[in-house]
Amino acid sequence: MGNVQKKTPNKQGNSKVTKYKKSKPVDINITILIFAFVFVYILINSLNAFGKKNVSIYEVTNSSIIEANTYTAFALREQEPVVSTAAGYITYYYKDGTKASVNDIVCSIGPTKQTYNSIQGMNGETSVLTSENINTLKTLVNNYTFSYNSNEYGEIYNFKYQIENKLFEIYNLSNYYDTNQLSSQNLGTINRTSKSGLISYTITGYEDVTSDNLTEKIFTDPLRESKYVLSEPTVAPGDIMYKIVSNKNWSLVFPVPKSDLDNFNEIVDSTIDVKFLSNNITASANVTKIMIGDTTFAKLNFTTLLPTFINNVFLDIEITYDSAKGLKIPNTAIVEKEFYKIPLDCIFNSKGTDNITVDVTENGLTTPVLKQVEIYFSTDEYALIASTVVEGGTSIARNSSTDKFIVGEKISLEGVYSVNKGYTVFRRIEKQLATDNFTIINKGTPYGISLFDHIVINAKNVTETEIIY
């Protein structure tokens, strides 16, 4: 038997063993993850905002515009002053602004104070303030308060005399209405009317002014104070006792500023409404024009309200030249665009959309191509389509014949950009009246906008079909 050698394993071992540390699972902090997501979201939106146009939106509303101006006008009346031929104490028998007939006794002049006192107490009655008297006084005070102007200090004297005049009427003239009874009394010198008309006791200094001798000086240097003769106890020969206004027709005149001439010339020879600012009364007047030198004067002719304004020299009035009521839009929202004009028989409707058939030539071969169009305005004969749909010179098929229509003529439209759908769409408008900042447009305009629609305020900052939100 042979010898067998037995191998004993090396205690140290021949193979190498590498030991690895056991890896730990990654610990994800959910708070950090959320913060990172929000930060990225804000960053993206901020970058988009920097590159996005600043487009302001306006909601269309109902509104109205009144183009009116105020003027100070001079009153022209057919009035005749009646002067005294005697001296003495005067007694009046007509209230201011009332109508007297021909040959009525308006006043009498007594030679002494005794005669004056006896006539004043002829009826033996005492006047008291009635509710009607109080309301009349209140109206005078309210009218003065409403029309008060600190620059017209002289008006306070006119107001003072109006109150004194009215009080004198209340306490001294309430008993005298029967002139037949007066004629039987020994009144001294009696004054009777030579014509019928309204009696006025206000002496303005302008009694002889007519439209023929009117001057600009009346407006540049007016007399500030009127005289109320009703409360004067005595008269002298030549003194004005009263005026009689014999014609119910009267006028207001004023110089027209050059800035208002265009508007004024449009209303000449027409009838307009005039508003009196002292009491908010409105009356109709026929408008005429007179020239004094190089200055244009307006003349407003009235047939009513003479008793109301019989003692007024100047009146503040308001004239409305134009007015409009409709939809209100900013002027900056208005844009003008050009559109191609094509015949209606070039357009046909298919599945709710308007279409045209155009000839397209490629590589020498012409083929008909269907194009969808949007109509921005139409009549019985033609329609307007966007100039971006076709080019000038394009051939369009007609529905009624084999003839072709060649695109060429353009028409401009004014409109706004509606954003009701989230992007800009041109919509036509019809203007009524514009101011410096806003325009009133018609309601119900075909291919237009409606109440509460949203439009772009600054139309120059956007283009058609631009996405807004």
Q: What are the tens digits of pLDDT across the range 117-173?
A: 555 555 444 455 677 777 777 777 777 676 666 655 556 656 666 676 667 666 555
Better pLDDT: 280 or 177? 280
d(Cα 243, Cα 98) in Å, to the nearest integer? Answer: 12
Question: What local confidence, expressed as pLDDT, does residue 172 receive?
Answer: 57
How far, in Å, are 78, 101, 244, 285, 331 from residue 194 at the CA level?
15, 9, 10, 30, 63
- Tens digit of each residue's pLDDT (9 = 90 or more) over 351-394: 889 999 999 888 888 899 999 999 999 999 999 999 888 999 99
Task: Report d(CA 426, CA 336) in Å as an integer.
Answer: 10
The domain locations on the chain are 78-245, 330-461
- Does this model's pTM top 0.75? My answer is no
Q: What is the 3-state secondary structure (H, E, C) of 426-445?
A: EEECCEEEECCCEEEECCCC
Q: How confident is the model at residue 227 (pLDDT cuts 50, 70, 90)?
A: confident
**What average pLDDT does range 172-177 have in this prediction?**
49
Range in 37-46, 165-174, 189-198, 355-364 with the lowest mean pLDDT = 165-174
Is the pLDDT assigned to residue 26 strictly greater than 90? no
pLDDT value at residue 331? 96
Phi, then psi, of 137 in degrees rounded to 5 = -65, -40
* Band of residue 342 on the pLDDT scale cut at 50, 70, 90: very high
pLDDT at residue 278 greater than cutoff 90: no
- Lowest average pLDDT, out of 5-19, 58-72, 110-124, goes to 5-19
Mean per-residue pLDDT, 303-316 = 92
C-alpha–C-alpha distance, residues 164 and 264, integer Å: 39
Confidence class of residue 52 from pLDDT cuts 50, 70 and 90?
low
- For residue 51, how many other CB atoms are within 10 A of its CB? 6
pLDDT at 237 over 80: yes
What does the CA dihedral 241, 242, 246, 250 come to, rounded to 10 degrees? 140
168: Cβ–Cβ under 8 A, 6 or more apart, which residues?
230, 231
pLDDT for the residue 127: 53
Q: What's the chain look like in SS3?
A: CCCCCCCCCCCCCCCCCCCCCCCCCCCCCHHHHHHHHHHHHHHHHHHHHHHCCCCCEEECEEEEEEEEEEEEEEEECCEEEEECCCCEEEEECCCCCCEECCCCEEEEEECCHHHHHHHHCCCCCCCCCCHHHHHHHHHHHHHHHHCCCCCCCCHHHHHHHHHHHHHHHHHHCCCCCCHHHHHCCCCCEEEECCCCEEEECEECCCCCCCCCCCCCHHHHCCCCCCEEHHHCCEECCCCEEEEEECCCCEEEEEECCHHHHHHHHHHCCCEEEEEECCCCEEEEEEEEEEEECCEEEEEEEECCCCCCCCCCCEEEEEEEEEEEEEEEEEHHHCEEEEEEEEEHHHCEEECCEEEEEEEEEECCEEEEEEEEECEEEECCCEEEEECCCCCCCCEEECCCCCCEEECCCEEEEEEEEECCCCECEEEECCEEEECCCEEEECCCCCCCCCCCCEEECCHHHCCCCCECC
For tokens 């050009």, name the residue. 338
Query: What residues contact residue 316 under an 8 Å CB cut-off, 6+ apart?
Result: 70, 71, 72, 73, 147, 276, 277, 278
Beta-carbon contacts of 80 under 8 Å, excluding residues fewer than 6 positions away, are: 195, 243, 244, 245, 246
| CA 369/CA 363 separation, integer angstroms | 15
Residue 53's closest CA among 463, 465, 462, 464? Answer: 462
pLDDT at 177: 44
Give the pLDDT of residue 43. Answer: 78
In Å, the largest CA–CA distance within the chain is: 196
pLDDT of residue 2: 46
At a CB cut-off of 8 Å and minimum separation 6, what does 308 contact? 279, 281
Q: Is the pLDDT assigned to residue 175 strictly greater than 80?
A: no
pLDDT for residue 232 = 84
Dihedral angle, C-alpha 407, 397, 427, 64, nearest 10 °: 90
CB-hemisphere CA count at 13 Å for 72?
Answer: 10
Q: Is the pLDDT of residue 38 over 50?
A: yes
Least trusted range by pLDDT, from 47-61, 307-321, 386-400: 47-61
